Amino acid sequence: MRVLIAVGAVLVGATLIFRFRTPWFLWLAPLNLTEENVAAAWFSGILLLLASLLAADGYFRLRNTHLKAACAWWVIAGMLLFLSLDEIACLHERIEFWKTGPILSFVPFLIVLLGGCAWSFLQLWLTPSERPRVPGLMLGFALLVSIAGLELFERLVLLPWYLKPFRFAFEEGCELTGILVLIYTTLPNSSGLFESARPVRGPAFSALAAFRWLILVSAIVIAWPLAQLTASLDEQPALGHFSDWLSCALFFCAATLLVRRWTCASTREPFPTTGVALLCAASAICVQFDPIGDRNIFPGSSTIEWFGLDLNTRLVLLALCCLGAAESVRARGASYRGGAVALAAAGLLSAGLSAYSTPDALWWGYFATTMIATSAFAAVAMTASCRGAVSSLERAFSSQPTD
């Protein structure tokens, strides 16, 4: 939490400085929370995804004792997952162009969000063990909903130029504060992340492990049409992309699966810092770097020239991240070797695709990125399944009475 708070404070400060539009601080653009398709937008969206995974662990913690409260955590996880999609893919920004207008277009989504919060908070309040979580959840969602009011204030009140940067920083700071409050409130659901016992006795990204193959199949099924849909949308450089959200979410989920395997190990192992960091870096690359190096579509884009070839910068960087993560995983022991080989194969595939192009380069860039992210997720899912089987057996034997 200290690290997340510190990073959030840096991003809010960078946003304040950048919004003054001084030429000396243009290099802060990737850290500007008001821009799309940058690392700062990725950070906000991934924090919402992390909160969703932590909330989903509440279901596995309560499903055998309080089913309604467990389902309430599922509803909260679903709402946070949707907000993560909105943060990175700019769903509500695109809704503004509907014929109904920006305000009326938001009403159905606001009703669903408030209804889901009301039902979930009531079920958690009626469960004594979950009652202390309700105030934190109410505060976190209230801060997120207040952003709509701040955006409405921006449309109705014209502030002088020297106050606008402070308004932007305040708005983005409120949003990050709300997300961090939700993470702090949902963090106890994943008690297995902090247990010293091996194997752990509490949930630790259990939803992700339980549905990893369903997630993988779903990503494979929607990758092609989602890339086509994303490539057909307007405002490519200015607004986020649905296909990129799927890719960065898969890379981040691969990192969390690696963390889960570490928690479920039967013996104490070193934390997989390098592997997790590289997979998270690959996740950020899917947002920070455009899918193709075409300046006619993305003015700030570029390619890597190598022996007369124009290589896709995003795919080259993803290849380096996957190969580095593969070596990090391989060094952890023989039980990780299968996943390391598959992860290295994903890196080599990304390196090979970086030199390939089609007439529809934009669609291909989105689809190729999703292919690499899906391959990386599948590679780490294989290692999680091996360790998960061992952990299940260990739990079964540990529950038997001893002589």
pLDDT digits (tens, 9 = 90+) for 67-83: 999 999 999 999 999 99
| Average pLDDT score over residue span 15-41 | 87
Token couple for 379:
């590679």
Residue 399 confidence (pLDDT): 40
Flag whether pLDDT at 384 surpasses 90.
no
User: Which of 142-146, 251-255, 339-343 has the highest mean predicted lDDT (pLDDT)?
Assistant: 251-255
Higher pLDDT, 241 or 334: 241
What are the extents of the domains in the chain?
Answer: 1-210, 211-388
* 389 has pLDDT over 50: no
Residue 358's pLDDT band (cuts 50, 70, 90): confident
Average pLDDT, the chain: 87
Residue 242 pLDDT exceeds 90? yes
- Mean pLDDT, rounded, for 307-311: 83
For residues 326 and 279, give the distance between their C-alpha atoms in angstroms, rounded to a whole number.
10
The pLDDT of residue 147 is 83
Residues 398 and 39: their CA atoms lie apart, in Å, by 44
Using one digit for the tens of pLDDT, what is the confidence trace for 156-205?
A: 777 787 888 888 899 899 999 999 999 999 999 998 888 777 777 788 89
> Could you give the percent of the chain with pLDDT greater than 90?
58
Residue 321 banded pLDDT, cuts 50, 70, 90: very high
Mean pLDDT (whole number) for 315-343? 92
Residue 1 pLDDT greater than 50, yes or no = yes
Q: In whole angstroms, what is the distance from residue 289 CA to residue 368 CA? A: 14
Mean pLDDT in residue range 268-280:
91
Cα distance between residue 388 and residue 382, in whole Å: 10
pLDDT at 402 over 50: no
- Beta-carbon contacts of residue 243 (< 8 Å; ≥ 6 apart): 223, 226, 227, 229, 230, 231, 366, 367, 369, 370
How big is the CA angle at 321 (ends 303 and 230), to the nearest 5 degrees? 60
Which region among 5-14, 146-155, 199-208, 271-280 has the lowest average model confidence (pLDDT)? Answer: 146-155
Mean pLDDT along residues 354-383: 92
- Provide, rounded to the nearest whole percent, the portion of the chain with pLDDT above 70: 92
pLDDT for res 134:
95
Q: What are the pLDDT digits (tens) for 113-164?
A: 889 999 999 999 999 999 999 999 999 999 998 887 777 777 777 778 788 8
Residue 273, pLDDT score: 92
Q: Report how far residue 150's alpha carbon sits from residue 142's, in angstroms, rounded to the nearest whole number.
A: 12
- The pLDDT of residue 388 is 40
pLDDT at 390 over 50: no
Q: What is the mean pLDDT of residues 203-222?
A: 93
Q: Is the pLDDT of residue 401 over 80?
A: no
pLDDT of 99: 58
Kindly report the backbone phi and psi dihedral angles of residue 171, in degrees, each rounded to the nearest multiple of 5, phi listed first: -60, -50
Query: For residue 103, what pLDDT is reported?
Result: 61
How much is the pLDDT for 386? 41
